[in-house]
Amino acid sequence: MPIEWTGSDPELLLKLDRGHGEPLRTQLERALRQSIQSGRLQAGERIPSTRRLAAELGISRGLVVDCYAQLEAEGYLSSRPGSATRVADGAGRSPVVRRTEVAPLLQPLPPGATDFRPVQPDLSYFPRRDWLWALGEAARRAPSSEFGYGEAQGSGTLREVVAGYLRRVRGAVAEPQLMVISSGFAQGLALVLSALAAERVRRVAVEEPGPTYRDIVTTRAGIEAVPVPVDEGGIDVGALAATGARAVILTPAHQSPTGVVLTPERRHAVLAWARERDATIVEDDYDTEFRYDREPVGTLQGLAPERVVLLGTVSKSLAPGLRLGWVLSPPHLVAAIAHAKRYADRGSPTLDQLALATLLESGRYDRHLRRMRKVYAGRRAALVRALQDQVPRVGVGGLAAGLHAVAHLPDDVDERHVVREAWARSIGLHGMSHYRIDGASHPPQLVMGFGHLTETAIARGIATIADLLG
């Protein structure tokens, strides 16, 4: 039974190469045809309207209309007056999958201070009415059996909807039986590490600089976290190979905290490394919902589902307090991950899982994301403008997506001194050194979050510390 993406037009991840000699219409037809043939888009599933898809891809609506007409003539699509265009019955096939059982802290800032804390969403925009509606719908429709101890992998309803969402928006190869619902990212990573430890993985590579969750790795019995340098192209795959690790944790779509995107060449290289070493890639898909002046980047998991574990949550898109995330696993790990989940907490709250499924399927989640992209894009622009106007010596990078940017300070500025002095002025700054564990000397940089700050607060905060930044 197809998922019914009701409400607003569903989004769809497609890539067009304008530098290629091939016509855009031919590229679009092939991308849609392959999405249907592979099972990424399934029979009966609604696809975006011609107007929506044309706007998303930046092409003419007439080109999309012609493309849809061609694919309808070939039997891939079906439509009728007054109704959405859908994948035709019998056109697609489901992917063949193996079914398996399943740093020292500064003193707290005072109230009212401006804190440029990274990857922090604006919780005041949490869609309360939509969430209450989704909770009500879930409670009204759920059979009584849903409120008992459920499956270790989580609600089958939510796993089915999230799998469809990841196929549609992130280009993942996703099936419900390969998913485990987690209580946020930290638990999801801990579950995966537990499964890797059971396979005698004793060394896991992490990005350097990298996310502060690396402590989760070191707390797992017998697992060592090995830093691997990141440059403007992403992780250094040669250095990764030299570690002898059998697993690596990556943030390829928007590296945390540098903001760089793993280049296509590095993507293929790290996948080749995983195949050669019989290794596992753990992909942290932490803030890719918020993209600005670039086309979306699909998941690594979509290129090698047998080697990549994909971790995602709604902590940035909705709120971390919901404590809901997912693990999309290769077939050989899913049983061990589900086993670890069962013994961790007997499962995440069922009603919240059903409410999230309802929100996703209704189209209200997509609508919320479109609204927040505009809000965050305005705040991103405000940060860039404030730094350019008040501290022109400071460069800004890592801006293509997410909720933070990287400020490149002049070489004669002391990063730690800037952080301490700003804190004394009730401005929270966060140095790049906080994300490093190698102890070596590096250029001074700040990781500056903007998602939770108003444009006025951003401008005022930069004005307060402009003299410190150079």
Separation of alpha carbons 465 and 306, rounded Å: 49
User: How many other β-carbons are positioned within 10 Å of the β-carbon of residue 77?
Assistant: 22
* Residue 405: per-residue pLDDT: 96
pLDDT tens-digit readout, 147-184: 898 899 999 999 999 999 999 999 999 999 999 999 99
In a domain, 193, yes or no: yes
* Residue 294: per-residue pLDDT: 66
Average of per-residue pLDDT across 50-74 = 91
Strands 325-328 vs 179-182: parallel, antiparallel or unpaired: antiparallel
Together in a domain, 438 and 346 = no
Together in a domain, 183 and 80 = no
- Number of independent structural domains in the chain: 3
* Residue 190: per-residue pLDDT: 95
Average pLDDT, the chain: 91
Instruction: Tell the residue number behind the tokens 């499924």, with chain if given.
Output: 357
Average of per-residue pLDDT across 77-97 = 77
Domain boundary among 362, 393, 417: 362
Domain boundary among 342, 362, 382: 362
SS3 329: coil
Q: Which two tokens stand for residue 77?
A: 């699509």
Local structure of residue 400 (DSSP, 8 states): S
In a domain, 3, yes or no: yes
Indicate whether 207 pLDDT > 90.
Answer: yes
Per-residue pLDDT band at 83 (split at 50, 70, 90):
confident
Average of per-residue pLDDT across 46-55 = 91
In a domain, 109, yes or no: no
In a domain, 30, yes or no: yes
Per-residue pLDDT band at 99 (split at 50, 70, 90):
very low
Together in a domain, 186 and 325 = yes
In a domain, 327, yes or no: yes
Q: 332 and 100 in contact (C-beta within 8 Å)?
A: yes
In a domain, 101, yes or no: no
Sheet holding 404-408, edge to edge: 395-397, 404-408, 445-449
CA distances for 234 relative to 100, 227, 269, 438, 470, angstroms: 33, 13, 11, 17, 28
Together in a domain, 170 and 316 = yes
Is the Cα torsion angle 115, 119, 123, 125 positive or negative in sign?
A: positive
CATH of the domain at 244: 3.40.640.10
Average of per-residue pLDDT across 360-373 = 96
Phi, psi of 145 (to 5 degrees): -65, -20
Within 8 A by CB and 6+ apart from 57, the residues are: 14, 16, 28, 64
SS3 157: helix
* Residue 101: per-residue pLDDT: 46
pTM above 0.75, yes or no: yes
Together in a domain, 147 and 59 = no
Which range, of 68-82, 86-100, 398-412, averages the lowest pLDDT?
A: 86-100
| Domain hosting residue 161, numbered range | 130-362
Q: 114 and 460 in contact (C-beta within 8 Å)?
A: yes
Closest CA to 155 of 339, 349, 364: 349
Together in a domain, 416 and 304 = no
Domain boundary among 362, 388, 413: 362
Together in a domain, 306 and 220 = yes
Indicate whether 452 pLDDT > 60.
Answer: yes
In a domain, 273, yes or no: yes
Within 8 A by CB and 6+ apart from 41, the residues are: 12, 32, 35, 47, 87, 92, 167, 168
Together in a domain, 144 and 290 = yes
CA distances for 82 relative to 68, 79, 90, 388, angstroms: 16, 9, 22, 50
Within 8 A by CB and 6+ apart from 47, the residues are: 10, 12, 32, 41, 53, 77, 84, 85, 86, 87
Instruction: Tell the residue number behind the tokens 């002095």, with chain if given.
Output: 421
CB burial of 29-43 (b: ≥16 within 10 Å; e: otherwise) equals bebbbebbeebbbbb
Q: 175 and 326 in contact (C-beta within 8 Å)?
A: no
Within 8 A by CB and 6+ apart from 422, the residues are: 428, 429, 464, 465, 468
Together in a domain, 350 and 392 = no
Indicate whether 213 pLDDT > 90.
Answer: no
* Residue 105: per-residue pLDDT: 47
pLDDT tens-digit readout, 332-351: 999 999 999 999 998 899 99
Indicate whether 97 pLDDT > 60.
Answer: no
* Residue 92: per-residue pLDDT: 67
Indicate whether 359 pLDDT > 50.
Answer: yes
Together in a domain, 136 and 231 = yes
Together in a domain, 371 and 329 = no
Separation of alpha carbons 451 and 119, rounded Å: 7
CATH of the domain at 431: 3.90.1150.10
| For helices 50-57 and 61-73, angle between their N-to-C axes, nearest 10 degrees | 120
CATH of the domain at 3: 1.10.10.10
In a domain, 99, yes or no: no
Together in a domain, 170 and 270 = yes
